[in-house]
Chain A
Amino acid sequence: MKQRSFSVRWCWSCVLLLVFPSFLLAAEGSASSEKSSPTVLGTIGMITDVVQQIGGEHLSVTGLIGAGVDPHLYKATRSDIVKLRRADLVFYNGLLLEGKLTDALIRVASSGKRVVAVTEEIDPSFLLQPEEFGGHADPHVWMDPTAWAKGTHVIARTLSELDPPHAESYQQRHAEYLKRLEALDQYAERVLHTVPEPSRVLVTAHDAFGYLGKRYGYQVLGIQGISTESEAGVQDIERLVSVLVERKIRAVFVESTVSQRNVRALIEGAAAQGHTVVVGGELFSDAMGKPGTYEGSYIGMIDHNVTTIASALGGTAPKRGLNGKLSRISLSS
């Protein structure tokens, strides 16, 4: 009996320990909900980052889809809907990137709120779309900084319309940001072109780097299609392996959002033919790096990708990237 009452007490104290701090947190959460500046909401991290850069201190910017989350699979919760409805302006990527969120975005737009697709000004002929299925373009536009720059135009203009008193500040900050993007683009071109021409092949776990390949002249080969249901065939794998061997490609790349297994099979296959391929590093495709780090910003993410690719495929790139802020380039085998 004594044993039992002890365990009961133990349980209760655990419950109390769990519940008590949560009340404290609740009190804290409700206290800090005052706002004065317009609220702008970006769906994906890449957009939120740009809005923050351009908006600066004049706006309160919130992101919806967390930094590392795959936007295809994002499922809004009730609190996200509340955020979405409270925002004064909403930016989203478009091209059906925000799969299940699209319905909610349409609803919000129907109420008369401005809901803007950042890809709306990009020329349709620029977009990568399968010939058979026009209108179903690859939404990963941010992989090409020059295309993303077009998106920033949309953001800057819309912000100026929303908040005319600070329009000048937005324009100025936008111009600065454009310069940084231009620098990024030049850096990427320079670094990626240090890789010898035949080796300019980017083998990744899934098809997300089309725009990067198109911009910098790389052939992009994904093991898996864009859809999570997509599946590779044995012959497709064999063909990828023979591409690796024939063109003596030194590295393949893994992604933060897709399992490494598929890529490992390629390495094994190449090794069986006497050609050593390594994992060139982890690339950011649908999601950026950890929030608060350099890789957690748009420029940092692209910088990371470009630097990783160039140094793994036999080019030369500064170890710590364009701005000397990259934390690590992991070259694992």
Chain B
Amino acid sequence: MIDFLSIDLPPLLAALFAAISCALLGNYLVLRKISLMGDAISHSVLPGVVVAFLLSGSRAGGVMFLGAAIAGILSALLIEGIRRFGKVESGASMGVVFSLFFAVGIIAMEQAAARSVDLDADCLLHGQLESIFWYPPLELSRFFSWSTLALIPSEVVIAFLTMLLTIGFLKLFSKELLLSSFDPELSTSLGFSSTLLYQLLMVVVACAVVASFRIVGSILVISMLISPAASARFYTERMKTQLVMSVFFAAITVFCGYTAGAFGPLLFGYEHSVSIAGMIAVSGGVLLVFSSLLAPQRGVLARKWRQRRLALAVRSDDILALLYRTEEQGGHLSRSKLLAHFFLPKRTAHVLRQLLAEGLIEEHGVQLSLTPSGKARAEQCVRSHRLWESYLVETAAVDRDHVHPMAERLEHFNTEELEGALEQALGELPTKDPHGKEIP
């Protein structure tokens, strides 16, 4: 318990706050196809770090942060500028800017003979989750007092403030951001410049990203800018819902990643924990893969399932219609003949079983026949088919000989409104289809 309070709680909170601010901003980055901004800024901060060191002669965290923040903001603005004015694809714009910034940083480092000083952004700038721990007072009475607040690790406080600022900014400009994300021209004509708004957004992103680097390290930030927002896109089309979901996903990812990184290996008997930030990034990826597979409507499985259900419905319509037509001509159909009539006999047999169970078809010996309710369904289907045929021949001037396969496909679109519209288009209801068959 004490271990949890002093070793686990602070990094969890810091990671949570940082992840929430990143996830929120990430929604806009993903929408604008610049979701790799975190990676770009992580490379771009090097010249800022080097120049800050050269000017101040110190490797203190504050100075490094200031330099990095300035370099980060500059690179973000430049990326947005090149993208907008040069109409360069955003990935290329990011690649150009961050590689250039990084190169300038290295040249500055070598030229200033700083090669004998260990100037590594990863080392100097980026914080580490695991080292955010504290020594809280252990007695309950002293724990719940104001003086405890002063003991809270500064990283947690900064992460919290960053989160508040991010939320505040997004709240303040939520309408404008939404509008200019989807309709930049309209927003410009409404009196606020979407260019300016985006430059502002980029500044906020750069500040939040660099601040989060300082607290939780780069990989967690890069991951949290992308994964939660990208996952949320599989569940909703609405921006507001997406924002809320991304926060939810960020929280889940942080908790799962933390548990897996800190305790997972111990459960398996390995005595060392593994990197928590890395594990959170991995869980972000896992979450996205799960979402892409399992999301209710837009997931791969849901789509596959929908396709299969549609295929089954089509097949059951076809079977009923086939029986109807056979009976119309006074013939009979046996099970084997029916199965032979369609592709994929397995699927046909499955649908047939269902139809028998629903009581739409009866089986007398080997003969299949429609029950009255089955007949009603089949009538509907055949009617739709023949209406479509009439429509296609009369209104769309399709050749009589080619009309059947088309209608075969269209007959399954037979909502009431559509039928009404078809009837209207045909004017007087025909009683016979183009092939001379009666329309039920």
Contacts and interface: CB of A to CB of B under 8 A. Distances in A.
Contacts of A136: 59, 116-117
A23 B123 contact: no
B268 A26 contact: yes
B115 A76 contact: no
A85 interface: yes
A103 B128 contact: yes
A104 B106 contact: no
A231 B109 CA distance: 9
Contacts of B128: 75-76, 100, 103-104
Nearest to B129: A78
Contact of A26 (B58, B262, B269, B272): B269
Nearest to A82: B7
A257 to B, nearest CB: 14
Interface string B192-227: 000000000000000000000000000000000000
B133 A99 contact: no
Contact of A107 (B119, B124, B133): B133
B39 interface: no
Contacts of B120: 72, 99, 227-229
Nearest to A103: B131
A217 interface: no
Contact of B119 (A73, A79, A104, A229): A229
Interface stretch (A126-134, A267-275, A305-313): A126-134
Contacts of A228: 120, 122
Given A23-B269, A72-B120, A226-B115, A80 B110 contact: no
B127 interface: yes
B115 A227 contact: yes
Size category, B interface: 35 or more
B278 to A, nearest CB: 9
Contacts, number: 141
A34 to B, nearest CB: 16
A25 B269 contact: yes
A56 B121 CA distance: 39
A78 B271 CA distance: 11
Given A19-B268, A99-B120, A229-B46, A81 B59 contact: no
B130 A104 contact: yes
A225 B130 contact: no
Contacts of B3: 82
A72 B126 CA distance: 13
Contact of A29 (B59, B110, B269): B269
Interface string A79-123: 111100100000000001001110110010011000000000000
Given A26-B266, A229-B46, A229-B109, A130 B131 contact: no
Given A78-B7, A133-B117, A136-B59, A103 B127 contact: yes
Contacts of B413: none
Contacts of A255: none
A233 B110 CA distance: 9
Interface string B338-380: 0000000000000000000000000000000000000000000
A28 B106 CA distance: 49
A21 interface: yes
A234 interface: no
Contacts of A227: 109, 115, 117-120, 123
Q: Which of A107, A134, A138 has the most CB of B within 10 A?
A: A107
Interface in A223-259: 224-231, 233
A105 to B, nearest CB: 9
Given A25-B269, A229-B106, 13 more contacts: A19-B268, A25-B270, A75-B128, A78-B273, A81-B130, A99-B120, A100-B126, A132-B112, A136-B116, A138-B116, A225-B116, A226-B116, A227-B120
For the complex of A and B, the 8 pairs showing the least CB-CB separation, nearest first, are: A225-B115, A25-B269, A104-B131, A26-B269, A22-B269, A99-B123, A78-B273, A77-B273
Interface of A: 19, 21-29, 72-73, 75-82, 85, 96, 99-101, 103-104, 107, 110-111, 128, 130, 132-136, 138, 207, 210, 224-231, 233
